[in-house]
Structure 1
Amino acid sequence: MPFQTEFSFTLPRGYVDPDGNLHREGVMRLATAADEILPMKDPRVQANPAYLTAILLSRVVTRLGRIESVTTRVVENLFASDLAYLQELYCRINDERTASVKAVCPKCGHRFEVEAIHRGEVTGYPSEGFYDEMVRLSTSHPGEQSEPLPYPHRTPRPDPGNARDP
């Protein structure tokens, strides 16, 4: 399997451009060292370190709907829930460590790990119902699990490439 450097996503709410058009689907690429280092020299970041988020996301979000050039102005005008989603996605794709829960199917005993993901949709990831179940599991079983949690599974569907889960 080739090394993946770009990740499709769907924002929970979406960006509304000045003409009133909604943009929800986009692409984020892996960050480079320059993406994290160069914005530190920007006077906006030096004056307000929180602005690093806007610059960093404008560098790694390569497309948002029909917008080909995602600028800091676009990031500034995202809804807070969409900004939080993109920050979480950035951390998840740029960090090899993932939040996962060990699970076991109570019917067949199959052991597997389930990745905990955000409520927004990422191409190739489970749907929102799966997220709700993960929240239930994580809140009813806090802390490190030495034994896998009983979690029913289905036979995985083949990944059809960039097709979204229903």
Structure 2
Amino acid sequence: MALQTEYEFELPKGYVDAEGTLHKKGTMRLATAKDEILPQKDPRIQTNPAYLSVILLSRVVTKLGSLPDVSPQVIEDLFLADLAYLQELYRRINDDEVTVTIQCPHCERETEVNFGAPKS
């Protein structure tokens, strides 16, 4: 089974560019450790920690409509509903649930234990 690393989405409202074009469909990729670590050096995040989600989303949203690039400015200019949608999508595709099979030391029965956030 291949690991899915990219996820297509459609924004609830859509991003309107300077020419008035509406962009709703896009692609988000799985985040890497680098995506989480490098933004910590960004001065915008050091002065405003809430800006981290803007930087993260601009790194992992690889496509949005016909835009050539998804910059932090594009993420900043999203409608609030679209920003919330992308934040939730980011959380869902990157917060994996891990299931481990363990054996009871007393009865030796095996059971599965789930760790992590449940998918909804």
TM-score by length of 1: 0.59
Equivalence map 1:99-110=2 (5 Å): 99-100=118-119
1:41-74 CA distance string (max 9 Å, x none) = 0000001001111100000000000013100000
Matched, 1:2 2:9: no
Total equivalences in the alignment? 101
In 2, the alpha carbon distance for the partners of 1:44 and 1:66 equals: 27
- Report the Cα distance in structure 2 between the residues aligned to 1:96 and 1:47, rounded to whole angstroms: 30
Structure 2 unaligned spans of 5+: 98-116
CA RMSD after TM alignment: 1.1
Query: Is the 8 Å Cα contact of residues 9 and 26 (structure 1) preserved in structure 2?
Result: yes
Looking at structure 1, the residues matched to 40 and 92 of structure 2 have their Cα atoms a distance apart, in angstroms, of 22
Q: What are the residue-to-residue correspondences of 1:100-139 with 2, within 5 Å? A: 100=119, 116=120
Structure 2 length normalisation: TM-score?
0.81
Which 4+ runs in 1 deviate beyond 4 A?
none
Q: Sequence identity, in percent?
A: 63
Structure 1 residues 23-47: Cα deviation after superposition (integer angstroms, max 9, x where no partner): 0000000000010011010000001
Runs of at least 5 residues in structure 1 that lack an aligned partner in the other structure = 101-115, 117-166
Structure (1 or 2) with the greater strand fraction: 2
Determine the C-alpha separation between the residues in 1 that align with 2:68 and 2:9. 15
